[in-house]
Amino acid sequence: MTQTGAVTEALANRRSIRAFKPDPVPEDLLTDVLETALLAPSWGNVQPYRVAVASGEVAKEIGAELTARFNTAAKVQRAGLFAKFGALMKGGVKPDGDFNTIMKYPPELGARYRDTGHGLYGTLGIERGDKAARHAQMARNFSFFDAPTALFVFCESSLGAYSALDTGIFLQSLALAAEERGLGTCMQAALATWAGPVKARFDIPENYKLICGVSVGYKADHKVNSFAPKRRPLDELLLKPKG
């Protein structure tokens, strides 16, 4: 049997945490996590990513603004055409993120996405028809699931897919470093839907685009954190040779 170590253990134990304790993350601990994540490989060692760290009052302000935008957008979605037009004209409703976070998945990926959603809401005991409960749970994305710290991750735009690839490697490294140190994380594309509240508070270089957010904190003892979506078997990953 192959001997495994801390990396394999962190991979096996890591979950997307959707309920956090309010306890603040010590600055030196967060610094340690980020410095460890900087060991991640990147194409030509260009390291095309930047991070905005929001905690304390700044995190609360950003979370409140994002939540308000989400709630307003949800109301607009349910409204008639005239009301939708009026709300969009006022601004603050239409997503202003650098990337489109709302998209249609191809069939194979869409099936996995739906299975994950069903499993998550099933763990929480939220019925398919309970729109209010589903909305409330979705809204929790924007208050970082009560995490005391939110990281907003930006990638350099001119390198295209390779910048995003390197940023993904950095994010995985960050999540594993946090797990190893007793912290939970949740990587959220939802937090990049509206970039305005973040850009208003941080000095972002023009060539860097907000790709996602990461909620960080101590894991709460909540049933939602037991949810672990299944991974596909290896034979579905491997491509078959021709012939």
Q: What is the pLDDT of residues 84-100, one digit of tens each?
A: 555 554 656 789 999 99
pLDDT value at 164 more than 60: yes
236 within some domain? no
* Pairwise CA distance, residues 217 & 149, whole Å: 6
Q: What's the pLDDT at 93?
A: 78
10 within some domain? no
Query: Can you give the residue range of the structural domain that contains 198?
Result: 15-67+95-226
Q: What is the pTM of this model?
A: 0.93
pLDDT, tens only, 17-55: 999 999 999 999 999 999 999 999 999 999 999 999 999
The amino acid at 79: A
* Pairwise CA distance, residues 164 & 111, whole Å: 24
89 within some domain? no
DSSP strand pairing (208-217 vs 49-55): unpaired
pLDDT value at 197 more than 90: yes
DSSP strand pairing (208-217 vs 184-188): antiparallel
Q: What is the CATH number of the domain that holds 197?
A: 3.40.109.10
Domain count of the fold of the chain: 1
239 within some domain? no
205: helix, strand or coil: coil
84 within some domain? no
Q: What's the pLDDT at 77?
A: 78
Question: Which residues touch 76 (CB under 8 Å, ≥6 apart)?
Answer: 83, 84, 87, 88, 93
Residue 170: count other Cβ atoms within 10 Å of its Cβ: 23
102 within some domain? yes
